[in-house]
Chains A and B, each alone.
Chain A
Amino acid sequence: MAMVRTPLMFARLPIGGRRLLFGLAITGICLAVAFPVLWLILTSLRPESGVYYVHRGTEFTLASYAEVLLDERLIQAFVNSALISTLATIFSLLVTVSSGYMLSRFRGPAAQTWFGTIYVFRCVPYISWVLPLYFVAQSWGIYDTYIGLLLPHIAVHICFFSWLMKGFFDGIDPSMEHAALIDGCTRWGAFIRVALPSAIPAISALAVLCWLFTWNEFLFALILTGNKVPVITVVMAQFVTEMGLRWNLMAATAVMALVPAFLLALFGQKYVIRGLRI
């Protein structure tokens, strides 16, 4: 167990006092983090006229949810977001895992060039990719298609998460793979049969992160999709209309969009924490 040093200012307090302070601090932080979410939920439950007086209204309704759930475009957006997130996660992991492994285990010009490429991409601000991607998508004829949104996401994941994966593999002792090489495996076999199973917690963690990243992503989706491929983050923003702001609908959609992400994080956090630790 790591040694916890009590800060000097607390050292003179009795144990009970220290616990109390600690509890207060934790509660404070939790409230601060949860407050926007609570506000969002409250907003979603208010009737249209009540959204500006969330803090003193007493009237609650599920009408916003009903309206959202009857909107075909919104349902389509949910399906699309889930599909794109899942596909992007699967395809990017296929590359990320092997590329992270290569960066961790191999030296040489190929690995170095790959490392340099990823590094450069990471240095470029995320937002500056959007416009070039739009032109590329237009000229390839993949604007407003699944593939047009999937490809950039996969690319981003590979650049961002190969590093993380490298870190995971750095933490796995390579002598296990050496033993496998001696025990009759090829280099590829040692990777698949020995390194990969040991990295499963890390890969699960990465899968959760990838999925959430795409599910929550707004900028690419806004620029690279039009009417044919609605995704949830973009549809949510479209409640800002010329006719006015439909805050209650936006909040209801947001709460519904939170649910899958929340569930995933809830069940996946065990893996995320264990994965980030190895």
Chain B
Amino acid sequence: MAAIVLDKLNKHYGSLHHAVKDVDLTIADKEFVALVGPSGCGKSTTLRMIAGLEDISSGEIRIGDRVVNHLPPRDRDIAMVFQNYALYQHMSVYDNLAFGLRNKKMPESEIKAAIDRATEMLGLHELLKRKPRQLSGGQQQRVALGRCIVRNPLVFLFDEPLSNLDAKLRAQMRIEIKRLHAQLPTTSVFVTHDQVEAMTLGDRVVVMKDGRVQQAGTPLSVYGHPVNKFVAGFIGAPAMNFLEVTIAKEGDTVVAQSPAVKLAVSEASSRALEAYKGRRVIMGLRPEHLALGDGVVSRSFAATVEVVEQLGSEILLETRVGDARVTAARVPPETAVAAGDQVRLSVQPGRLHFFDPETENVITA
């Protein structure tokens, strides 16, 4: 039973580099939180501060009901999986798994029982006598997971554990971690730069940039209601399209227009955009919300196809709209479309996102 509370957490490296800025975050007991962001955004530093591998410049970290700021890593009752597995190279898999338990002076019979349970769960039986360098990347990472499980800690910390694996193995391990969390519900913090991992694994996704938390929420809320342009562009693949448009009123309807695009805005957005009338804003369109062909002029625009990417299950279209490039996804794979074609792309008014061009924050009512 351990919630993690980060309270005004800061990390300075010297006087110049402020890696983590005022991070406030509460991770509930048994919750799986994914910290995601581009490299250098402070996510790994935050995790390492929770682990106790980095000093805290200011702020407070609580695990359960203890303030752990000054506790060494070994007293925090945590377990961590590292990007490069960090297995003890000179020990067999069994000794790797037993290392932490032996440090706790657990009797060998109990250690064996704990290891048996973990190997059962992860299918490691045949590997127990081998040395880490005789294992594949996927097997090594599984041993690293096992090393965490046997300890039965309060908190699991994952530091980009899947990024050294190839794409297929990564997808497998993702499922394995998810299954593991279902079997052994333990408070977990998972750091990744891959938004797909964050979205699929996290009960909650925390998007970070430049040392600050940009948004924390369920995968669906972060995807559906990004609070700023950065989050909107970072979450979702292919990335959201951004167009510069001017807000105008035509009769009763509010429209967003640029020389190449003119789209009617939903009622909710109309109210939000009241103050922006006659001003330029940034409009965001998710590629998967764009559909090919639709006669209704008020919710579609003309585009020139530049590149057709056939994926088998769908087509990705790279198109040019005026000066801007717009990607459209989810085009049915059998659609007859070729580079150079003129097409119309349509979008539901409710799917449009608007951002302030200066603050880049989402415009809401």
Contact = CB atoms under 8 A, between A and B. Distances in A.
Decide whether A and B are members of one complex: yes
Contact of B86 (A179, A185, A197, A200): A179
Interface stretch (B77-85, B174-182, B218-226, B235-243): B77-85
Nearest to A172: B89
Interface stretch (B98-106, B330-338, B356-364): B98-106
Interface string A176-197: 1011111111100000001001
Of the four ranges (under 10, 10 to 19, 20 to 34, 35 or more), the interface on chain A belongs to: 10 to 19
Main secondary structure of the interface of B (DSSP, over half): loop
B61 to A, nearest CB: 15
Nearest to B79: A182
A183 B72 contact: no
Contact of B100 (A178, A184, A198, A200): A184
A119 B161 CA distance: 39
B90 A182 contact: no
Given A182-B51, A182-B78, A182-B79, A173 B100 contact: no
B103 A178 contact: no
Contacts of A128: none
A175 interface: yes
Given A178-B53, A181-B53, A183-B100, A198 B89 contact: yes
Given A181-B72, A182-B73, A183-B151, A176 B87 contact: yes
B191 to A, nearest CB: 13
B19 to A, nearest CB: 15
Interface in A187-236: 194, 197-198, 200
B88 interface: yes
Contacts of A194: 88
B8 interface: no
B82 A180 contact: no
Interface string B100-124: 1001100000000000000000000
Contacts of B83: 175
B74 interface: yes
A185 B103 contact: yes
Contacts of B104: 184
Contacts of A184: 74, 100, 103-104
Nearest to A199: B90
Interface in B23-81: 51-53, 72-74, 76, 78-80
Contact of B72 (A173, A186, A197, A198): A186
Which 8 A-B pairs give the minimum distances between C-beta atoms? A184-B103, A183-B100, A175-B86, A197-B90, A179-B86, A181-B73, A175-B82, A184-B74
Given A179-B80, A179-B82, A185-B103, 17 more contacts: A175-B84, A176-B88, A176-B89, A178-B73, A178-B86, A179-B86, A179-B87, A180-B88, A181-B53, A182-B73, A182-B78, A183-B99, A183-B147, A184-B103, A186-B74, A194-B88, A197-B90
